[in-house]
Structure 1
Amino acid sequence: MTPVATIKYISDNVDAFIEYSPKLLTALFILFAGHYAINLFRRLANREVRKRELDLTLSKFLINIGTWLLRVLLFVTFISKLGIETASFVAIIGAAGLAIGLSLQGSLSNFAGGILIILFKPFEVGDSIEVQGVSGTVAEIQIFVTKLTASNNQVIFIPNGALSNGNIINHSLEGTRRADLPVLISYDDDLKKAKEIILSILNTNEKVLQEPAPAVDVTALTETGVRLSIKPWATNEDYSKMCAEVLENCKIELNKAGIVLEKKV
């Protein structure tokens, strides 16, 4: 390329850049302003939900959908300001839609699962549930996944498709919960005395509900001893602490009475 041609090439590109720069600057301004506006919308919507004490499950799900729709609208506006014909762009998306749909079958299943969870409400935000071999408190139901917080403060994300098609144990649906705490005593120990001691512990523990009445039942006669099932009731809030206290007090009081718990339950 000759020096004259090089200079002409550079000049033409500089002129084109100067001519195109207003569109580029406008598009970038729309992109950053739109991103800020979407984040502002999300914060204001969450604040309004808390202020009006609306249904957190449905509200957060709708906010997530609204956020994604606004992001898509922002992207289309951004490319249109760059000078790209949106009609042709939509045609390209339509042509690629089938391939994208086939490659995102799992994501579409998760989206449909989220819709089913919102409609039928097997659980809501704040519920304590057990699903897919894990348990925790529902922190958020997003478009594709549900966020759980475990008792050790770990965050667990479960796909909505698996949730909507699997078994769900909701511990918060009812206000109270019964524990089944197994203990094993020797055949040589006094069974009646052991049951009386355990019932006394259950009747004096403030976290154990007396209605329905707690119970102690023989559930099996094993090779090493008699298996008992301790069945106290408690509110969802007191459940974990109640189980720990009952087991600890049973160990202490049974040992005081000369009744030794077997290791293998």
Structure 2
Amino acid sequence: MGEQIENFDVQHFIDVYVMPWGINIILAIVIYIIGKMVVKTLVGIFGKIMAKSKYDDMLVDFLKSIVNAFLMLFVIVASLDQLGVDTTSLVAILGAAGLAIGLSLQGSLQNFAAGVMLLVFRPFKAGDFVEAGGVSGSVINIGIFSTIMSTPDNKEIIVPNGNIYGDNITNYSAKSTRRVDMVFGIGYGDDLLKAKRVLTSMLDADERVLKEPAYTVAVGELGDSSVNLVVRPWVKSSDYWGLKFDFTEAVKLRFDQEGISIPFPQMDVHLDK
């Protein structure tokens, strides 16, 4: 035992093992530290570019984290390669694991991709009233995987982004003005021109009705029991429901005053004796 210790060449051990491994460890640490600094700088530049493009803050933060993770993976692989680790096998294992995870989370990845598209192209924003994913409501928040909406009766609905982006999207708040489509029926025995004059005067008196584009009052259909007048004024989007409800009530009251009838379906039953 003592002879083996005496024969142990310390200098040879240092030259063959300690020095090479020590240098590799130091270089790996240096590569990691410098790489991390470079990644931080690149991610910062990327974030500033995205911020100037006026993308959603949530999307910017998420993309920054993705870019940071992707670049840091290269830094870690370079550091391990400097230590002599077989990074080829490591990359293959990570790739196989990523594929397996991707297949198991296929639905979630679809929602994620749709969320990114919604945040990039912005077919709607928080506060807009939309019809999307089979539901209608005001958008509260657009997330990476789902969108939260509030219905007119104040129910909160969480809709997967895949359902939204894979279907038609109707944004009722996208334009500053909207056309209100209404139909009022009068009897065949009533004065048609008088009814049109009444409706026109009511539209002219309502300050919510825009002058441009001009409103429309016309005969839309000769129905089975009524002459149907189409009334289509333009209003600010915020006045849409207010004018529709108020004007419908006002027409009923005004027609009653003017002696203009509003027909309704009736059924005559005859009993044979």
Question: Structure 2 length normalisation: TM-score?
Answer: 0.62
Q: Which runs of 5+ in 1 are unaligned?
A: 1-53, 71-86
Equivalent residue for 1:242? 243
**What is the letter of the counterpart of residue 221 of structure 1?**
L
**What is the letter of the counterpart of residue 130 of structure 1?**
E
1:215 aligned onto 2:213: no
| Distance of 1:235 and 1:108 partners within structure 2 | 39
| Distance of 2:193 and 2:131 partners within structure 1 | 36
2:238 partner SS: coil
| Distance of 1:138 and 1:220 partners within structure 2 | 37
Equivalent residue for 1:80? none
Instruction: State the Cα deviation string for residues 175-227 of structure 1 (Å, max 9, x = none).
Output: 11101112222212111111111111111112221221222122222212122
Q: Quick check: which has more Rg, 1 or 2?
A: 2
Structure 1 residues 190 and 238 mapped into 2: Cα distance closer, same or farther (>3 Å)? same
Q: Please report how far the alpha carbon of residue 92 of structure 1 lies from its aligned counterpart in structure 2 after TM superposition.
A: 7.9
- 1:148-227 matches, within 5 Å, as 148-227=149-228
**What is the letter of the counterpart of residue 183 of structure 1?**
F
Structure 1 residues 235 and 216 mapped into 2: Cα distance closer, same or farther (>3 Å)? same
Structure 1 residues 176 and 113 mapped into 2: Cα distance closer, same or farther (>3 Å)? same
| Distance of 1:109 and 1:219 partners within structure 2 | 45
2:230 partner SS: strand
Q: Please report how far the alpha carbon of residue 99 of structure 1 lies from its aligned counterpart in structure 2 after TM superposition.
A: 3.7
1:189 partner SS: coil
Structure 1 residues 256 and 118 mapped into 2: Cα distance closer, same or farther (>3 Å)? same
Q: Please report how far the alpha carbon of residue 246 of structure 1 lies from its aligned counterpart in structure 2 after TM superposition.
A: 0.8
| Distance of 2:65 and 2:248 partners within structure 1 | 48
Equivalent residue for 1:102? 103
Q: State whether residues 213 and 232 of structure 1, in contact with CA within 8 Å, keep that contact through their aligned partners in structure 2.
A: yes
| Distance of 1:212 and 1:227 partners within structure 2 | 22
Aligned residue-pair number: 195
| Distance of 1:165 and 1:109 partners within structure 2 | 10
Structure 1 residues 67 and 179 mapped into 2: Cα distance closer, same or farther (>3 Å)? farther
Q: Please report how far the alpha carbon of residue 63 of structure 1 lies from its aligned counterpart in structure 2 after TM superposition.
A: 4.9
Instruction: State the Cα deviation string for residues 205-260 of structure 1 (Å, max 9, x = none).
Output: 12221221222122222212122221111111111111111111111101111122
Structure 1 residues 186 and 67 mapped into 2: Cα distance closer, same or farther (>3 Å)? farther
Structure 1 residues 125 and 68 mapped into 2: Cα distance closer, same or farther (>3 Å)? farther
Q: Please report how far the alpha carbon of residue 103 of structure 1 lies from its aligned counterpart in structure 2 after TM superposition.
A: 3.0
- 1:1-265 matches, within 5 Å, as 58-63=56-61, 95-263=96-264
1:137 partner SS: strand
Q: Please report how far the alpha carbon of residue 104 of structure 1 lies from its aligned counterpart in structure 2 after TM superposition.
A: 2.2
Q: State whether residues 64 and 142 of structure 1, in contact with CA within 8 Å, keep that contact through their aligned partners in structure 2.
A: no
Instruction: State the Cα deviation string for residues 113-142 of structure 1 (Å, max 9, x = none).
Output: 111112222112222212234222211110
1:237 partner SS: helix
Q: Please report how far the alpha carbon of residue 67 of structure 1 lies from its aligned counterpart in structure 2 after TM superposition.
A: 8.7
Q: Please report how far the alpha carbon of residue 64 of structure 1 lies from its aligned counterpart in structure 2 after TM superposition.
A: 6.3
| Distance of 1:205 and 1:99 partners within structure 2 | 63
| Distance of 1:151 and 1:69 partners within structure 2 | 39
| Distance of 2:219 and 2:158 partners within structure 1 | 40
RMSD: 3.0
Q: What percentage of aligned pairs have identical amino acids?
A: 41
Question: Which 4+ runs in 1 deviate beyond 6 A?
Answer: 64-70, 89-93
| Distance of 2:56 and 2:157 partners within structure 1 | 20
Q: Please report how far the alpha carbon of residue 61 of structure 1 lies from its aligned counterpart in structure 2 after TM superposition.
A: 3.9
Q: State whether residues 178 and 232 of structure 1, in contact with CA within 8 Å, keep that contact through their aligned partners in structure 2.
A: yes
| Distance of 2:225 and 2:134 partners within structure 1 | 30
